[in-house]
Amino acid sequence: LPIGAQHEAISLYGLYWRRLRFGPGYAAFVQEYAAREHWDTVQWQAWQRQQLQVVLTAAAQHAPYYHQTWNQAQQAAALAGQLTELPLLPKDPLRMAPQSFVRQDIHPRGVQVFHTSGSTGTPIAVYYTIPELRQSLALREVRSAGWAGTSFRRPRATFSGRMVEPDPASRGPFYRFNRAEKQVYFSAFHLRPDTAAAYVDALRKHRIEWLTGYAVSYFLLARLILDQGLSVPPLKAIITTSEKVTASMRQVMERAFGCRVYEEYSTVENAIFASECEQGRLHVSPDVAVVEILRPDGSACDPGEVGEVVVTSLARTYQPLIRFRLGDLAAWDTAPCPCGRAMPVIQEVVGRIEDVVIGPDGRQMVRFHGVFVNQPHIHEGQVIQEALDRIRLKVVTADGFSAADEADLIQRVQQRLGRTVQVVVEPVVSIPRSKAGKFRAVISYTSPAAVQEQIRSE
Ligand SMILES: [Zn+2]
């Protein structure tokens, strides 16, 4: 489609989304999230206990995976609401058979399916009922946009994994505008020194008030803005998602964009939600999930002790996730927050910093493992940038992997980086973990030292 028609098509899609977002129940969800913020610990615990009972019972009785894999003692524990008696859930079973986690006792209309590459490069299909989706959007309105002093009703710009502009050689525009949601979708794949000014112009042209999406993309744009002395229109806030924001990244973004950065920690599964309050602390929303931080032996970490984040979703009950291993590491901070909210605080989220992939023309990209999304014959994948013009994809293949899958992968990489990039697809038995036991979805040996250093400086 020509660019103009693309803006139209996206606006139509936006209209559909606006109806999904603001449809029946939305205003009530917003009110409920806002009211619960003022609860004390006792109220939160009572609410969680009750909701946990509902979710665990539904999982044990109606979701085939739990019904089949939990033994009798575990089924009984679930019915009694005893979460810690239940086994941890790795990503694999969910990736292999997402349908087997879906409840069989209800058949809601209009179920929405989202795919995620996850922070481990393992794609997962996530099923939302319409009320669950609307609830998750209301949650973001209150505790993400609201805490940052803005709203999803105000114009915003987004950096995400969306392939906004498919032509790697495009001369612009590097975004599409969704009129219905007053939203600019930026391409994360065209950001480089000679395009930075066009990104800033789009903010001015569409009177954007706040920014949201990939932290590293905004950080990279911020560096270009400062390097080139570009003038940025007034903005209310940047709400980052996806990657950890280090102190130095935050400083660079706040200087370049002239507004405060608020970090959000969430996942496509809506299996955890934490957002930054006015006092700069990351509060977990207890009405989204029960969050545990565990040692390798499964016991709970002490405050300040880094451990594995394990979540049980309370907000999404159609495809219940029970003691789901997110693959992130974090620590609790038990000091009370001056904002007065009794919602628990996460001190730090570690292990989500990804490497930046660089194109031969200097463009910088994050979350490049998006090339593995919706690849049914790939069990696990890792992107390794060996040189500016050479990418190696290590893949653990599933049954049915063929030359067509390989060609598709090569095409996806070249679509992002250009045709001159050599792509090597290497089937492997397994992908080695880092010293800390973490899976690294993207490894780059070519990122400029400055970028690497600034991202890693903490
Ligand atoms: Zn607070």
Question: Ligand 1 centroid vs 210 CA: distance in angstroms?
Answer: 21
Task: Give the chain's radius of gyration (CA, Å).
Answer: 22
Q: What is the pLDDT of residues 182-218, one digit of tens each?
A: 999 998 878 888 999 999 999 999 999 999 998 878 9
Question: Ligand 1 centroid vs 36 CA: distance in angstroms?
Answer: 14
Nearest to 175 by CA among 164, 167, 183: 164
Question: Ligand 1 centroid vs 345 CA: distance in angstroms?
Answer: 8
Question: Ligand 1 centroid vs 332 CA: distance in angstroms?
Answer: 14
**Helix, strand, coil percentages, rounded to 5, for the chain:** 35, 25, 40
CA 384 – CA 445 distance, rounded (Å):
8
Question: Ligand 1 centroid vs 131 CA: distance in angstroms?
Answer: 28
**Does the pLDDT value for residue 56 go beyond 90?**
yes
**Does the pLDDT value for residue 57 go beyond 90?**
yes
Question: Ligand 1 centroid vs 145 CA: distance in angstroms?
Answer: 15
Nearest to 136 by CA among 169, 112, 154, 157: 112
Work out the burial of residue 376: count CB atoms within 10 Å of its CB; fewer than 13 is exposed, 13-18 middle, 19 or more buried: exposed
Question: Ligand 1 centroid vs 262 CA: distance in angstroms?
Answer: 12
Average pLDDT for residues 361-366, to the nearest whole number?
71
Question: Ligand 1 centroid vs 338 CA: distance in angstroms?
Answer: 6
**pLDDT on residue 402:** 94
Question: Ligand 1 centroid vs 195 CA: distance in angstroms?
Answer: 38
Question: Ligand 1 centroid vs 278 CA: distance in angstroms?
Answer: 6
**pLDDT on residue 457:** 41
Residue 353, classed as helix, strand or coil, is coil
Question: Ligand 1 centroid vs 336 CA: distance in angstroms?
Answer: 8
Q: Which two tokens stand for residue 382?
A: 């890792």
Question: Ligand 1 centroid vs 123 CA: distance in angstroms?
Answer: 33
Average pLDDT for residues 56-65, to the nearest whole number?
97
Comparison of pLDDT for 116 and 249, the residue scoring more: 249
CA 38 – CA 277 distance, rounded (Å):
13
Question: Ligand 1 centroid vs 340 CA: distance in angstroms?
Answer: 6
Q: Which two tokens stand for residue 153?
A: 């009703």
Q: What is the pLDDT of residues 258-311, one digit of tens each?
A: 999 999 998 888 899 999 999 999 999 999 999 999 987 889 999 988 788 999
Average pLDDT for residues 4-28, to the nearest whole number?
87
Q: What is the DSSP string of 328-391?
A: EEEEEE-SPPTT---S-EEEEEES---PPEE-TTS-EES-GGGGGTT-TTEEEEEEEEEETTEE
Question: Ligand 1 centroid vs 302 CA: distance in angstroms?
Answer: 20
Average model confidence (pLDDT) for the chain? 88
Question: Ligand 1 centroid vs 318 CA: distance in angstroms?
Answer: 31
Nearest 5°: phi and psi at 204?
-70, -50
Average pLDDT for residues 437-450, to the nearest whole number?
62
Question: Ligand 1 centroid vs 250 CA: distance in angstroms?
Answer: 18
Q: Are 235 and 259 in contact (CB under 8 A)?
A: yes
Helix (H) or strand (E) run with residue 47 in it? helix 41-62
Predicted confidence band of residue 229 (pLDDT cuts 50, 70, 90):
very high
CA 140 – CA 137 distance, rounded (Å):
5
Question: Ligand 1 centroid vs 213 CA: distance in angstroms?
Answer: 22
Average pLDDT for residues 393-405, to the nearest whole number?
93
Average pLDDT for residues 422-426, to the nearest whole number?
95
**pLDDT on residue 367:** 67
Question: Ligand 1 centroid vs 276 CA: distance in angstroms?
Answer: 7
Question: Ligand 1 centroid vs 284 CA: distance in angstroms?
Answer: 10
Question: Ligand 1 centroid vs 31 CA: distance in angstroms?
Answer: 19
Question: Ligand 1 centroid vs 136 CA: distance in angstroms?
Answer: 20
**pLDDT on residue 434:** 59
Question: Ligand 1 centroid vs 147 CA: distance in angstroms?
Answer: 10
Question: Ligand 1 centroid vs 281 CA: distance in angstroms?
Answer: 5
